[in-house]
Amino acid sequence: MSLIELNNVSKFYGRDESRTVALESIQMKVEVGDFISIMGPSGSGKSTLLNILGCMDVPSVGEYLLKGRSLKGVDHKELSHIRNKVISFVFQHFALLKNYSVYENVELPLLNRKLSTKEKREKIFTQLEKLGINKLYKKHPTQLSGGQQQRVAIARALVSDAEIILADEPTGALDQKTGRELLELLSSINENERKTIIVVTHDDKVAQYTRRIISINDGRIAADVANTENPQDVFKNTSNL
Give how many domains the chain has, as a whole number. Answer: 1
| CATH number of the structural domain spanning residue 194 | 3.40.50.300
Give the model's pLDDT for residue 219. 94
Task: Please name the residue ranges forming H helices in the chain.
Answer: 46-53, 76-85, 102-107, 117-130, 146-159, 176-193, 204-207, 231-235
User: For position 234, what pLDDT does the model report?
Assistant: 52
Q: Is 49 a member of any domain?
A: yes
Distance, CA of 213 to CA of 230 (rounded, Å): 14
* 217 pLDDT higher than 50: yes
Average pLDDT over all residues of the chain? 90
pLDDT in the model for residue 239: 44
Question: 131 lies in a domain?
Answer: yes
Domain residue limits at 87: 33-59+75-235
pLDDT at 231: 60
Q: What is the pLDDT of residue 125?
A: 96
pLDDT tens for 142-158 read 999 999 999 999 999 99
User: Could you read off the pLDDT of 161-179 as tens digits, one per residue?
Assistant: 999 999 998 888 888 888 8
pLDDT recorded at residue 176: 86
- Give Cα 238 distance to the centre of its chain: 25
- pLDDT mean over 37-45: 91
**Mean pLDDT in residue range 173-198:** 90
Q: Per the domain annotation, does 134 fall within a domain?
A: yes
- pTM here? 0.89
Could you give the CA distance from residue 81 to residue 76 in angstroms, rounded to a whole number?
A: 9
pLDDT over threshold 60, residue 20: yes
Q: What is the pLDDT of residue 237?
A: 46
Is residue 186 one of the residues assigned to a domain? yes
- Model pLDDT, residue 149: 93
For residue 186, pLDDT beyond 60 = yes
Q: For residue 232, what are the contacts with CB-CB under 8 A and spacing of at least 6?
A: none
Q: Is residue 50 part of a domain?
A: yes
Structural domain contains residue 226: yes
Q: Is the pLDDT score of 120 beyond 60? A: yes
